[in-house]
Amino acid sequence: MLKMQVRRSAALLLCFAFIASNTFAEPPTYDLGGKSRRNSAIRSVILPGWGQFNNGQDLKGYVMGGTVLLTLAASYLLYTKANNTYNDYEQLGIKNGSLYDDYQAQANQAMVASVFCAGLWVWNVIDAYIYEDEPLQQAKGRTGLSLACGRGQSGLSYTKKF
């Protein structure tokens, strides 16, 4: 049952990715080299905590990035444990056994951990965007990253500005 839901989710994700890749005639390019709200938010979408580092909040970046990565690892481990319990239940062949109850509890725990992880990741992006302790201006003459996504082209590129 859980495998079927994961497969459906993966199929929907692939459909959305296909639609999004064919939407843009020219792939949009984002320069992540300077300090801006948008750059910090995009960095946090790519890697939790990276936007906080861009804002000069190193400790907050470590805490937020570590928290998101730990909850992501926990949700993966809980999902794996639930999947193994379900496989044991199927091999045993007893309907309505205690293993199925264990599987349901573990699947619920995995779902809660996944939702918590997603919420933390979204909060990480919002925090990176709203932080405004110092003026966030586009710095000139800095080294930076560019992000391109769209039809036939995607990825990160490193640029050096002089």
The most confident of the ranges 30-34, 81-85, 90-94, 151-155 is 81-85
Average pLDDT, the chain: 76
pLDDT band for position 147 (cuts 50, 70, 90): low
Q: Is residue 71 part of a domain?
A: yes
Of the chain, the percentage scoring pLDDT greater than 70 comes to: 59
Q: Is residue 122 part of a domain?
A: yes
| Domain span at 52 | 37-135
In eight-state DSSP terms, residue 34 is: S
Q: Is residue 25 part of a domain?
A: no
Q: What is the pLDDT of residue 93?
A: 76
| Of residues 160 and 95, more confidently modeled | 95
Q: What is the pLDDT of residue 141?
A: 43
Check if the beta carbon of residue 158 is closer than 8 Å to that of residue 145.
yes
Q: Is residue 6 part of a domain?
A: no
Q: Is residue 45 part of a domain?
A: yes
pLDDT in tens, 85-132: 888 888 887 776 788 888 889 999 999 999 999 999 999 999 988 875
User: How many domains, in total, are found in the chain?
Assistant: 1
d(CA 28, CA 21): 11
Q: Is residue 15 part of a domain?
A: no
Q: Is residue 105 part of a domain?
A: yes
Q: What is the pLDDT of residue 40?
A: 84
**What DSSP element (H or E) covers 58?**
helix 58-92
Residue 23's identity, in one-letter code, is T
Please check the confidence at residue 31 and state whether its pLDDT lies above 90: no
Looking at residues 7-33, what average pLDDT do you find? 61
Q: Is residue 143 part of a domain?
A: no
